[in-house]
Amino acid sequence: MSKGNLKKVIREHVEKQALSESQLESLMQIQNPNSETEKQAAKKQFRWIAIAAVFVVAFANVFYFSMSPELTLDQRIGSEVAKNHINLKPLEIETSSMQAIRGFLTELDFMPMESALLAGSSKRLIGGRYCSIQGITAAQLRLKDDQSGQVQSLYQTVYDKKVFSGLPQLEENKKPVTVYSKGLAVDIWVEKGILFALTKENKQ
């Protein structure tokens, strides 16, 4: 599927989510409610419209990146991870303890872990938050290199073979694959059933 056709499909999908004339008329009527009951109904309708809009945007993004022939799986992951790292949203927990991370991020389907590739390095855990990789709930851990002062993001999620098949696994003596996106390098690998993605400065 060409990028032009892909955009057309997305646009048609978004247009299908547009309000009908009757829905629009109803929405305009609730903008000037006359009773408390009508006010409550208006709030509910606006909330659901907002939620629907979020789902439409999310669908368009996932559909675009999953169907684009120009991007391989590792490139899609690298692009998503780099974008999230650049945004650097606030941490939900600030800690240097992996045990504290596990105790806080209880909605994950796995236990966040320390990678053997980072053992003995100067990188120090400073906190974490929830995120996602390719639509799968993940942990975004924030690291700081005590030598360089560089702040890095280490993403972890469950390794689902149906979604992440083909990525290098340490148990098979394979090295991480490195992709480049938005001025960053992203190392991606699988270790003990967990998918890892680590951002770092692009030294190319």
Domains of the chain, residue spans: 3-67, 73-201
Q: pLDDT band at 83, cuts 50/70/90? A: very high
| Distance (Å, whole) CA 110 – CA 112 | 6
Per-residue pLDDT at 202:
80
pLDDT of residue 97 exceeding 80:
yes
- Residue 82: is its pLDDT beyond 80? yes
CB 154 within 8 A of CB 141: yes
Is it the case that residue 25 has pLDDT exceeding 70? no
pLDDT confidence of residue 116: 95
Q: Is 187 helix (H, G, I), strand (E, B) or coil?
A: strand
Distance CA 78, CA 184 (A): 9
Of 19 and 122, more confident? 122
